[in-house]
Amino acid sequence: MSCFGDKSLIKVLFFAHLKERLGCDSLMLKAAPATVAEVRQQILEMHPNWRDDFESLAKLSAVNQTICDDNQLVETGDEVAFFPPVTGG
């Protein structure tokens, strides 16, 4: 069920209910160095119909597999992930 946006340089991953609702587990973004907030915006510009699911389920983000907030800088080559609050343990 993977779906790709612009063939480009930032890899974006989705997990759990967010992944299921979007029907998408990953995409590639063409983006200059930006913040996580700007990455969110760019994704929603490409997929305006994802807004509700994104707002309710993309509560957490990670850049290069480390949890971060929306101010975190993202550079080309980075892996950005969005997911709901975790429920392991």
Partner 1 sequence: MRQENLIQVQHDDFDISALYHFLQADNVEDGAVATFLGAVRAKNLGDNVTGLTLEHYPGMTEKSLNDIVVQARERWDINRVVIVHRVGALQLGDNIVFVGVTSPHRGNAFDACEFMMDFLKTRAPFWKKESTSEGDRWIEARDSDAQKASQW
Instruction: Say which residues have a Cβ less than 8 Å from residue 32's Cβ, sequence separation at least 6.
Output: 76
Q: Does residue 83 belong to the site contacting partner 1 (CB under 8 A)? A: yes
Closest to partner 1 by CB, 48 vs 89, is: 89
DSSP code, position 7: S
Closest to partner 1 by CB, 15 vs 54, is: 15
How many residues bind to partner 1 according to rule CB under 8 A?
Answer: 16
In DSSP terms, which residues pair with 31 in a beta bridge?
none
Q: Which of residues 7-46 bind partner 1 (CB under 8 A)?
A: 13, 15-17
Please tell me the distance from the alpha carbon of residue 40 to that of residue 12, in angstroms, as a whole number.
10
Q: Smallest distance from the beta carbon of 24 to partner 1, in angstroms?
A: 15
